[in-house]
Amino acid sequence: MKSSPLLGRRSFLRSAAGAAGAAFWADSTLDAALHYTQTSSKPSDLKITDLRVAVLPGRPLVRIDTNQGISGYGEVRDGASKTYALMLKRKLIGENPCNIDQIFRKIKQFGHHARQGGGVCGIEMALWDLAGRAYGVPVYQMLGGKFRDSIRVYADTPQSRDPKVFGERLKRRVEQGFTFLKMDVGIGILQGIPGTLTMPLGMTPQERNDTVHMFTGIEVTDKGIELMAEYVARVREVVGYDVPLAADHFGHIGVNSCIRLGKALQKYNLAWLEDMIPWQYTELWKKITDSVDTPTLTGEDIYLKEPFEVLCREHAVDIIQPDLATSGGILETKKIGDMAQEYGVAMAMHMAGSPVSCYANVHCAAATENFIALENHSVDDPHWADIVDGVEKPVLQKGFIKVPQGPGLGFTINEEAVKKQLREPGYFEPTPEWDPPKYRINDRLWS
């Protein structure tokens, strides 16, 4: 009778221990040593056989399957199409998933800024998960180890036009254990108040939202600036000044209004001013940053390291905030953080996904020294964490997520929970229609 791989490894370890003259490999010790080892896996012979998706509300999950029965999970960014991942299946079939960087360089040309990078990033997450499972180690260890055991989280909090109401909501976050806060303080709180905003007459909300900030013709008046500053003051009165409080979603307003508002908010010691204008206007960002004393931040829509380096090298912002599901995935985001650290720039992380994307962020944050805090948009959803098992529950404890020690991203998928949350029919169904074509496609960026 042929011995199992587990018994074979146990016999080998026992004989090795005997040769060393120390019989310290008891069964319990061996079981612990082999607990995370994929004994049926030979990583050098792994081949990708399929890519499948399961679509949760706004969050397509990606599963990459192999010839050895090991699968890895990733996630396309919130609001992006599953097609961004499926179209890349033809580039993956037959590849060894452990060659993560090689595959990433092969497919990264098909990503772009904002949601268009979601397919590349979701696949990259799944490759790391797969490789970690094959080798029996957590992803953070494969990135060089961790700087922290738990990841600080800040929560998206429903806004109110009443600053006292909103302040109480933020105060409850502190009572829940959160050690970092963020608020939205946009021009929406000025709607309907005469004399606070100047804008082209008849401009519709859709027209305003579809126009880049500096081209809307919208400016905030002195009265509007005063009311927005008063709003922040009232919130600070409720939550106090001991806890960091960041600010986001100011609205599509001009650069000069951003500067005037930033100066008016300086006395409230905000942690940062987020996305006041689109990220790609480096010189205008630098103008804002140099004009105010409150830290500035951008980055959730940037794909790949190079644009981040432009912002950091010019010190156009004080903090960067990549979204790992857009920026290029786990390794690229760690590279972004390490690069920023060389310029003295800190890194927060944007995340509005499921626990799959969240744990990809957790491993990256653990392995990146200049990390500050990770966003989570789902802390009020009681079923958000149902789709994963094998991790400490509740996932979010007193404002922190513990870095898992299991292989890969550290979780197992709860099939029934995923099926309950599906937005589209089909639980990781086969996708033969996306298989590689019989003919060669010449879609490289070079000849």
Domains annotated for the chain, with CATH where assigned, are 43-135+427-434 (3.30.390.10), 150-407 (3.20.20.120)
Contact predicate 144/150, CB 8 Å: no
| 183: nearest Cα among 204, 200, 199, 169 | 169
> Which 3 state secondary structure label does DSSP give 286?
helix
Residue 333 has which token pair? Answer: 């985001």
> Which 3 state secondary structure label does DSSP give 357?
helix
Q: Give, in order, the Cα–Cα distances in Å from 389 to each of 123, 141, 374, 397.
A: 21, 21, 21, 16
Q: Which residues contact 101 (CB under 8 A, 6 or more apart)?
A: 331
Q: Which residues contact 193 (CB under 8 A, 6 or more apart)?
A: 223, 224, 227
Strands 71-75 and 346-349: unpaired
Structure pTM? 0.90
Residue type for position 126: A
Residue whose tokens read 């927005």: 228
Could you report the average pLDDT of every consecutive run of 10 residues in the chain (447 residues)? 43 44 45 48 93 95 98 96 97 98 97 96 98 98 98 94 97 97 95 96 94 97 98 98 97 98 98 98 98 98 98 98 98 98 98 97 98 96 97 96 98 98 96 92 87
Residue type for position 318: D
Residue whose tokens read 């026992």: 14
Contact predicate 331/143, CB 8 Å: yes
Contact predicate 361/351, CB 8 Å: yes
DSSP codes of every residue in 135-178: HTSBHHHHTT--S-SEEEEEE-----SSHHHHHHHHHHHHHHT-
Contact predicate 247/265, CB 8 Å: yes
| 363: nearest Cα among 354, 377, 374, 352 | 374
Backbone angles phi, psi at 320, to 5 degrees: -105, 155
Residue whose tokens read 């074509």: 437
| 408: nearest Cα among 117, 66, 112 | 66
- CA 190 to centroid of chain Cα atoms: 31
Strands 396-397 and 400-402: antiparallel
CA 341/CA 378 separation, integer angstroms: 29
CA 29/CA 23 separation, integer angstroms: 11
Long-range contacts of 23-30 (CB under 8 A, 24+ apart): none
> Which 3 state secondary structure label does DSSP give 182?
strand
Residue type for position 87: M
Strands 48-56 and 388-389: unpaired
CA 352/CA 156 separation, integer angstroms: 9
Residue 182 has which token pair? Answer: 């963020």
CA 188/CA 190 separation, integer angstroms: 5
Q: Give, in order, the Cα–Cα distances in Å from 3 to each of 36, 75, 94, 199.
A: 20, 38, 30, 77
DSSP codes of every residue in 27-88: HHHHHHHTTT--TT--GGG--EEEEEEEEETTEEEEEEEETTS-EEEEEPPTT--THHHHTT
Contact predicate 236/245, CB 8 Å: yes
> Which 3 state secondary structure label does DSSP give 431?
coil
Residue 204 has which token pair? Answer: 């519709």
pLDDT for 446? 87
CA 438/CA 447 separation, integer angstroms: 21
